[in-house]
C-alpha cells in the first residue's frame, strides 16, 4: 500500500476569534484642530426647543412664506426630540437617549453671537450661536434642518417674551 503525505495540502481550517460586537455602533466623531478656545460660560447647559418662541421667531424671518408656515409644525415636532448640550469644548446632540459629541472651538465672539469651527465629514464647518430675546439662542450650522427658524431655551427654565 502506498501512502502519501497530505501535510502540504492543509485544509484551510483556521478559526478566527470574533470579538463581541455588542458595543459596536456608528460614532460620528468630529475633531477640532484649535484647542484652547472654550465654549462660553453662558452656553454651558442643555438647550431644548422653545416651540412657541420658534413659531414667533420664524414669522419674523426673511424666509417666512406659506410653505414654511405649513412646514413649521413638522419641523417643531422633529426638533422637539432633540436637545443640545454645550460642554467646554464640544456640542453634544441628544436624541432618543443617544448622545453624539461634536468637538468645537470658538473662533469669534461678539455681544450678540458666538462663532465656532468644527469638522464634519472631514470638511471645515462653522457653527454660529446667536443670542435671542429672553436668554434664548438660535443655533445655525449647515445641515441643521430649519435652523433659521428655531429658538432654543435652557432646559427647564421659564422664559418670557420673544
Site residues, other proteins (CB under 8 A): 1-7, 9-21, 24-26, 28, 34, 67-68, 71, 74-75, 78, 82, 93, 95, 98, 100, 120-124, 141-149
> Which residue number, 117 or 136, has a Cβ lying nearer to other proteins?
117
Give the integer Cα–Cα distance in Å for 153 and 132: 10
Please, what is the minimum distance in Å from the beta carbon of residue 158 to other proteins? Answer: 28
Please, what is the minimum distance in Å from the beta carbon of residue 85 to other proteins? Answer: 14
For helices 66-79 and 51-59, what crossing angle results, to 10°?
160
> Which residue number, 148 or 159, has a Cβ lying nearer to other proteins?
148
- Cell numbers given for 54: 420658534
Please, what is the minimum distance in Å from the beta carbon of residue 157 to other proteins? Answer: 24
Please, what is the minimum distance in Å from the beta carbon of residue 104 to other proteins? Answer: 13
Please, what is the minimum distance in Å from the beta carbon of residue 101 to other proteins? Answer: 11
> Which residue number, 39 or 72, has a Cβ lying nearer to other proteins?
72
Q: Quick one: which of 104, 139, 110 has its CA closest to 125? A: 104
Q: How far is CA 133 from CA 5, 48, 57, 144, in A?
A: 86, 15, 10, 21
> Which residue number, 16 or 110, has a Cβ lying nearer to other proteins?
16
Q: Is 49 exposed, middle or buried (0-12, 13-18, 19+ CB in 10 A)?
A: buried
Q: Count of CB atoms within 10 A of residue 54's CB?
A: 24
> Which residue number, 77 or 133, has a Cβ lying nearer to other proteins?
77
Q: Are strands 113-120 and 90-95 parallel, antiparallel or unpaired?
A: unpaired
Amino acid at each position: 500500500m502506498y501512502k502519501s503525505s497530505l501535510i502540504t495540502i492543509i485544509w484551510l481550517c483556521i478559526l478566527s476569534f470574533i470579538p463581541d460586537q455588542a458595543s459596536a455602533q456608528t460614532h460620528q466623531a468630529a475633531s477640532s484642530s484649535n484647542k484652547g478656545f472654550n465654549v462660553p460660560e453662558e452656553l454651558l447647559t442643555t438647550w431644548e426647543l422653545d416651540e412657541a418662541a420658534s413659531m414667533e421667531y420664524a414669522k419674523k424671518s426673511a424666509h417666512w412664506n406659506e410653505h414654511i408656515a405649513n412646514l413649521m409644525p413638522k419641523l417643531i415636532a422633529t426638533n422637539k426630540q432633540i436637545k443640545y448640550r454645550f460642554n467646554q469644548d464640544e456640542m453634544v446632540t441628544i436624541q432618543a437617549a443617544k448622545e453624539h459629541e461634536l468637538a468645537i472651538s470658538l473662533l469669534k465672539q461678539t455681544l450678540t453671537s458666538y462663532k465656532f469651527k468644527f469638522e464634519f465629514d472631514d470638511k471645515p464647518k462653522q457653527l454660529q450661536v446667536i443670542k435671542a430675546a429672553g436668554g434664548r439662542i438660535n443655533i445655525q450650522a449647515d445641515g441643521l434642518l430649519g435652523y433659521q427658524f428655531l429658538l432654543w431655551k435652557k432646559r427647564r427654565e421659564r422664559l418670557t417674551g420673544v
